[in-house]
Amino acid sequence: GQQVMQIPQYQHVQEGEDFTTYCNSSTTLSNIQWYKQRPGGHPVFLIQLVKSGEVKKQKRLTFQFGEAKKNSSLHITATQTTDVGTYFCAPNTGGFKTIFGAGTRLFVKA
């Protein structure tokens, strides 16, 4: 079945440093979504990528979808304390089912 690996598991950064989390799938994806979960909160949708090689930006966040549609990344430029939380990728192979990665927990030190 489909397997998803998200790395790193944890990342500690100093405020102002950049941060990147990677998501790799064993199978070709139809699309991939990214979610953010603040401590004690619930996952909140950030974005969906569909096209091969797609790059989307949301302010300091940059999302990329690999050319082979098997991997994706989320990059945050100049992290802020408000970026703290766990970032999940959620790949989809075309059906109803979306599998969430294990998540990358981001800690930002002021």
From CA 49, how far away is CA 44, in angstroms rounded?
16
The yes or no reply on residue 99 touching another protein (CB under 8 A) is yes
Tokens of 70: 């098997």
By C-beta, is 96 or 110 nearer to another protein?
96
Binding mask 3-42 for another protein (x = CB under 8 A): ------------------------------x-x-----xx
Binding mask 65-84 for another protein (x = CB under 8 A): --------------------
Could you give the C-alpha distances from 60 to 19, 33, 57, 92, in angstroms and in order? 10, 17, 7, 25
Would you give the end-to-end CA distance of the chain in angstroms?
41
The yes or no reply on residue 45 touching another protein (CB under 8 A) is yes
What is the smallest separation between the CB atom of 58 and another protein, expressed in angstroms?
14
Name the phi and psi angles at 23, rounded to 5.
Answer: -130, 125
By C-beta, is 26 or 80 nearer to another protein?
26
From CA 86, how far away is CA 88, in angstroms rounded?
6
Which stretches of the chain bind another protein, using CB under 8 A? 33, 35, 41-45, 48, 88, 90, 92, 96-103
